[in-house]
Amino acid sequence: MSARARPEPAFFWQGLLILLPVGVMAAIGLTAILRDKAAVEHQARQRAEEILQQLTPETGRRVLSELAAFDLAGQDWFQHERRLMRADVTARMQEPEVHANLFRSWQATYPDLRPEDVFPDRVLLAGDRGPAKGPGYDQPPRPPEWFLALTGEQRRSWDALRQAEMSGTNDARLDAALKGFLGLNPAVEARADADLIRLEHGPARGSIRALRSFAEEHRGVMSESGVPLSNLALAQALRQAGSGPDLAGVLDALVDESLEGQSLLLPELLNEARALIAQSPRPKELLDPAEKLCSAQARLARIAWTVGQLVTPQEATNLWVEAFGRRWFCVIGKFGEPTNAPSTNGGTAEVAKGLWELHVYPKAAIERASVRAIQAARVAVPGYFSLTAELEGEPLDVGGLRPVRPGAARVLAEARDIEAISGGPEWVLRLCLADPARLFAQQRQRTLLFGGLIVTSTLAAIFGLAAARGAFYRQLRLSALKSNFVSSVSHELRSPIASVRLMAESLESGKVAQPARQQEYFRFIGQECRRLSALIENVLDFSRIEQGRKQYEFEPTDLVALTRQTLKLMEIPAGERRVNLALAIPERDIQTLATQPVVDGKAIQQALVNLIDNATKHSPQGETVTVGLEVREAKEESRRPEAGGQKAEAHPSSFLLWVEDHGEGIPAEEHQKVFERFYRRGSELRRQTQGVGIGLSIVKHIVEAHDGRVLVRSAAGQGSRFTIVLPGWKSETRKGEGRGA
Where does the pLDDT of residue 651 fall: very low under 50, low under 70, confident under 90, or very high at 90 and above? Answer: low
Which run of H or of E encompasses 20? Answer: helix 12-55
Is residue 308 over pLDDT 60? yes
Q: What is the pLDDT of residue 79?
A: 76
Where does the pLDDT of residue 361 fall: very low under 50, low under 70, confident under 90, or very high at 90 and above? Answer: very high
Question: Is the pLDDT higher at 43 or at 645?
Answer: 43
Can the peptide bond before residue 21 be classed as cis, meaning omega within 30 degrees of 0?
no
Is residue 184 over pLDDT 80? yes
Q: In this predicted structure, which of 349-358, 591-600, 732-741 has the lowest mean pLDDT?
A: 732-741
* DSSP of 36-57: HHHHHHHHHHHHHHHHHHHHTT
How would you classify residue 227: left for phi > 0, otherwise alpha for psi between -120 and 50, otherwise beta? beta
Sequence-distant (6+) residues with CB within 8 A of 421 are: 60, 63, 64, 67, 331, 391, 427
**pLDDT, tens digit (0-9, with 9 covering 90-100), for 538-588:** 777 767 776 677 778 888 888 888 888 888 888 878 887 888 999 888 776
The chain-wide mean pLDDT, for the chain, equals: 75
Q: What is the pLDDT of residue 648?
A: 45
Length of the chain: 741
Percent of the chain with pLDDT over 90: 3
Q: Can you tell me the distance from the alpha carbon of 369 to that of 425, in angstroms, rounded to the nearest whole number?
A: 15
How would you classify residue 465: left for phi > 0, otherwise alpha for psi between -120 and 50, otherwise beta? alpha
Q: What is the pLDDT of residue 473?
A: 82
For residues 684-690, give the mean pLDDT. 47
Q: What is the dihedral of CA 565, 566, 567, 569, to 10 degrees?
A: 90
Q: Can you tell me the distance from the alpha carbon of 721 to that of 444, in angstroms, rounded to the nearest whole number?
A: 65
Phi and psi dihedrals of 649, rounded to 5? -100, 135
Q: What is the pLDDT of residue 741?
A: 41
Bridge partners (DSSP) of residue 460 are: none
Q: Which of 593, 489, 479 shows the shortest CA–CA distance to 535? A: 489
**pLDDT, tens digit (0-9, with 9 covering 90-100), for 655-664:** 889 999 988 8
Q: Can you tell me the distance from the alpha carbon of 342 to that of 313, in angstroms, rounded to the nearest whole number?
A: 9
For residues 366-381, give the mean pLDDT. 84
**pLDDT, tens digit (0-9, with 9 covering 90-100), for 115-143:** 888 888 887 776 544 444 444 455 567 78
Strand order in the sheet with 720-727: 580-584, 624-632, 654-661, 720-727, 709-714
All structural domains of the chain: 311-439 (no CATH), 440-548 (1.10.287.130), 550-635+650-740 (3.30.565.10)
Question: Is the pLDDT higher at 347 or at 682?
Answer: 682
